[in-house]
Structure 1
Amino acid sequence: MDFSQRLQQVSANPEALTQIGRGLEREALRITPQGELSAEPHPAGLGSALTNKWVTTDFAESLLEFITPVSQNVDHLLSQLSDIHQFTYSKLDQETLWPMSMPCFVGREDDITLAQYGSSNSGRMKTLYREGLKHRYGSVMQVISGVHFNFSFPDAFWDQLFGEQNELARQDSVSDAYFALIRNYYRFGWLIPYLFGASPALCSSFVDKTNTSLNFEEVGNGTYYLPNATALRLSDLGYTNHEQSSLKIGFNSLEQYLDGLRRAIRTPSEEFAKIGVKVDGQYRQLNDNVLQIENELYAPIRPKRVAKGSEKPSEALARGGVEYIEVRSLDVNPFSPIGINEDQVRFLDLFLTWAVLSSSASMDDAELECWRDNWNRVVLDGRNPDLQLKIGCGGERLSVRDWSLRVFAELDQVAEVMDAAAGNQNYQQTLSRLKNWIEDPALTLSGRLLAEIKQQQGIGKVGRSLADAHANAFQQRQLTFYSQQEFEQEAEASKERQQQIELGDEVSFEQFLDDYFADLK
């Protein structure tokens, strides 16, 4: 069957396209009224960063992470994320949230305090993992923020696509389908940084730390930009791990992916061995392998399954197959108080549905590198109307505009059936708006942000202005999904859960680590 036939097959049951599961994770740095990185610990009013289900921290004490539950309703999803933000603002005193992916006003590496999770073995391990990231890549690189989009199709979708199957056959079919989606994400996902990339400029601190040959231009006092860049966060100037480039983790099957992942967490790194694991009685990293743990793998998209108990991510996948995918290539939307908006969510719905229903041949390492090259071209020069992208590894090329319009022609079909299932025009209206961004790159998030940066002469002024505007917006807003009491109760309950974890430890930290990594020996 071709794409159109598969689309008609799943659309026969409206629930297949109206019960999509979505969750959001948004990272944001706390900043002072002067626009500097907060040196204050995680606000006590937010509860335990180890156990609060809605508000935690990522790499640093100052780097908040907001987490929604899974929702089948886009409006509910965004209301949940907005309410979590609003509660957080009520506990921030005079601080605000930096509205961009790329931080600014970061002084020395040691000004960034690693996230603290208490005295339990599991909490100490989380902080030690971050200590390893600091030694490996530097703290400044680790406080780059993003938005992660978790996405799953309902059982009704797979029922329509695959028909009657026993449990094991269904598990294999679903995993294969998600990996087909992932391969198409690598082929065509450059559309996401083109449309929603929002890091066309950097503070000088990032450029100073690299040996880049990129021809940056400067505006204001220490803001560097590329005229047509979209998402420098996704370039070698942002998240990078050159050690991982040799791993060759494939996406043709769950087995291939897991084999590559297991190899990565077992492969010693000469570079990271120089750091040392335990020096003068102090741990510096969990181990000296290419990956300390599986979470260190940098990827624009990941296959996932909710882990049970102390399961590692790969163990969960091996047990039950792929349950959902995590899109990790979204910059924080600086124009949204919550870092993402409805059009972005609906576009991702459409794009991921199209990606799973479209043909997706297996992909070798050479082809994967071709697609990564396309991503890099869009990241650095995506708004250049003359930019040409590769079509496969042959010599044929196509402009960003022409290739985008080809994809949009099929996304239009998805939007029609999803709107028909929901009884509205929301998806078609989203595509109509975004199609204008293809014709006029200045309308993209990166185009709009760079115009603001040039006008205001630097990232700092734009960032502080937007941060203040977002904070004021939440002061005027009422909670719509959760109540203040629910947030307060969760904050208190999370402190109690952390205490119970700490009281439950029965072995030393050293023994805890030995047990955790026993399968690597």
Structure 2
Amino acid sequence: MIPNISSELNWLEKHPDSIIGIIRGIERETLRIDLNGKLSQTDHPAQLGSTLTHPWITTDFAESLLEFITPADTNLTETLSFLKDLHINTIKSLPNEQFWPFSMPCFIGDDEEVRLAQYGNSNIGKLKTLYREGLKQRYGAVMQTISGVHYNFSFPLSFWQAYLGVEDEVTGKDKISSGYLNLIRNYYRFGWVIPFLFGASPAICRSFLNNKQTHLPFEFNDSMAYLPYGTSLRLSDLGYTSNAQTNLGLTFNNIDTYIGQLRHAMTLSSEEFKAIGLEKDGKRIQINTNILQIENELYAPIRPKRVTKANERPSDAILRGGIQYIEVRSLDINPFDAIGISDEQARFLDLFLIWCVLAKAPEMSSSELQCTKRNWQTVIVEGRKPDQTIAVGCGNENHPLRLVGKSLFVDLIRIARILDKNEQNNRYEMVCEKWIRAFDEPELTYSGILLQAFKEQGMTNYGLSLAKKYKEELSQSDYQFLTQMQFDIEKEQSITKQWEIESQDTLSFSEFLRLNGGQ
């Protein structure tokens, strides 16, 4: 089932310098809760700056849903240190609050407890809040408080020059984009290994099931509902999914087709969302009634990306310059680390994404893409089940998950040795040695460890104990990479930038909305 990439690995071993300079960035979401574990009802702390314009600390769906963003960097250790500094600065601004350490929320009674994120009085700020109001109307606010970690990854130009023979990013943009699309297709085929190893949401608070229909075979333990062999309910039908998007027919074979399909979804009206309406009680509640209000509403475990220019849509940016990096979106929050992601997870992702670009991935139809999701669902719902199998393609042939995973790691170990030689240590190979064991001993996975802790201590109690532990750890930590002066400068600059944006608006919001996808 695993493609033979011996020749590609031989090539990489002869060109180890080509992967020096991998660029990464991390985005981590987390809910603010009070010291008793209730969802915070306070505004985003003013001392942190403007959520509209701050480059590092902002909010996602809700006012209480923090998002930490690191700049792109080639040094993984510095990226993780930067992320930790963002946590330290924020927790010191929250004397009476802490961070919920899990992806799946708890302590939320209903949607009305979730306050939508606010971005000021500018047209763009109002549009961001309206988009979130639309998400609330379509999918429910509680679902939108599910948190995760996004890992942004790009190869250095030197890799594409050596591997594909391109001269530069401009003339080689089509070949580079094709390389990233190859990676994405392999990610759909084999990315289930990420929730198997690092899925950290095998259980939810019972309150999350209120008024929700589900076919999942839950078992119950006090206030907890769990799947005995589950890995990531965040990625299940209860998490970030959209039935309206299921039949869009998206493929990742070439850029023009992908962008065309994405834009079609943005103009395709949805009867379900049309029934919601555009206004309620005189208040606007959606940007439009299309399947996607904006491009970012597309739920996907991985996305092709390019940094946008001012007022540029993400798809326009990709058409202009090709794919610049990919965004991995299938990581649950790591509850065993104060910043939600560990060094070893990042190193595993490096290894796996390099493997995905090297392994030849045949083009996939939309129906074939849907077939790959069956393996994801198998792993999400019962990945740790003894003798679990994984399907091959769209046929009925199955292979033991244990053997498929271990054969993948045979390749990853070869890649690890190349990276370790470049870094003059053995940290990548140590990651492989540790996590290959999980295929024979699934209880060593994050979900296996976590579910055992939930059964012994209770999900709520364990979550609050971790929240308290990390609050104390971060509060007592010194900055590793940034300084307080840098945080103060960014805060003031963000406030000034928001004021400038608000003062420069010339259109009414209704006119601005009409020009930006509104109906």
Matching of residue 512 in structure 1 with residue 512 in structure 2: yes
Specify the alignment match of 1:50 in structure 2. 52
Q: Structure 1: where are the runs of 5+ without partners?
A: none
Partners in 1 of 2:438 and 2:350 — Cα distance?
A: 18
Matching of residues 132-147 of structure 1 within 5 Å: 132-147=134-149
Q: CA deviation at 1:391?
A: 1.0
Give the secondary-structure state (helix, strand or coil) at the position aligned to 1:514.
helix
CA distance in 1 between counterparts of 2:335 and 2:494 reads 30
Aligned to 1:116: 118
SS where residue 115 of structure 1 aligns? coil
Q: Name the counterpart of 1:40.
A: 42
Q: Which amino acid aligns with 1:451?
A: Q
Output the CA distance in 2 between the equivalents of 1:210 and 1:108.
12
Rounded Cα–Cα distance in structure 2 between residues aligned with 1:133 and 1:252: 29
- Checking the alignment, whether the CA contact within 8 Å between 1:385 and 1:399 is kept in structure 2 is no
1:237 equivalent in structure 2: 238
Instruction: Confirm or deny: 8 A CA contact 2:166 2:175 kept in the other structure.
Output: no
In structure 1, the partner of 2:424 is 423
Farther off after superposition, 159-168 or 393-402: 159-168
Cα distance between partner residues in 1 of 2:170 and 2:54: 34
Task: Give the partner amino acid of 2:149.
Answer: V
1:93 counterpart residue number: 95
In 2, distance between residues paired with 1:387 and 1:227? 13
Does residue 158 of structure 1 match 2:151?
no
Matched position secondary structure for 2:152: strand
Could you tell me how far apart the structure 2 residues matched to 1:14 and 1:403 are? 26
Distance in 2 separating the partners of 1:487 and 1:91: 12
The alignment yields a C-alpha RMSD, in angstroms, of: 1.4
- Identify which range, 319-328 or 410-419, moves more after superposition: 410-419
- 1:45-74 CA distance string (max 9 Å, x none): 111011111100000000000000011111
Alignment of 1:149 with 2:151, yes or no, is yes
How big is each residue's C-alpha offset from its partner over 1:374-423, in whole Å with a ceiling of 9 and x where there is no partner?
00000000011221110111221111111101111111111111112222
What secondary structure sits across from 1:135 in the alignment? Answer: helix
| Preserved CA contact (<8 Å) 1:10 1:157 | no
Residue of structure 2 in register with 1:284 after alignment: 285
Match of residue 214, structure 2, among 206, 212, 215: 212
In 1, distance between residues paired with 2:169 and 2:471? Answer: 48
SS in 1 for 2:471: helix
Give yes or no for contact 2:334–2:340 (8 Å, CA) kept in 1: yes
Deviation of 1:366 after TM superposition, in Å, equals 2.4
TM-score (normalizing by structure 2): 0.97
- The answer (yes or no) to whether the contact 1:46–1:491 under 8 Å persists in 2 is yes
Identity %: 49
Give the letter aligned to residue 441 of structure 1: P
- C-alpha deviations, 1:262-307, integer Å up to 9, x for none? 1100000001001111344321100000000000000000000000
Secondary structure of the corresponding residue to residue 480 of structure 1: coil
Unaligned runs of 5+ in 2: none
Shift of 1:16: 2.1
Q: Judge which range, 362-371 or 350-359, deviates more.
A: 362-371
Matched-pair contact (CA < 8 Å) for 2:106–2:208:
no
Aligned to 1:468: 468
**2:147–2:332 Cα contact (<8 Å) kept:** yes
Question: How many residue pairs align between the two structures?
Answer: 517
Structure 1 contact 11–17 (Cα < 8 Å) conserved: no
Distance apart, 1:322 and its partner CA:
0.3
Find the aligned partners of 1:166 and 1:470 in 2 and give their Cα distance: 44
2:347 maps to a residue whose letter is R
Any conservation in 1 of the 2:31–2:100 contact (CA below 8 Å)? yes
| 3-state SS of paired residue (2:253) | coil
Deviation at 1:367, TM superposition (A): 1.7
1:56-455 matches, cutoff 5 A: 56-165=58-167, 168-220=170-222, 222-455=223-456
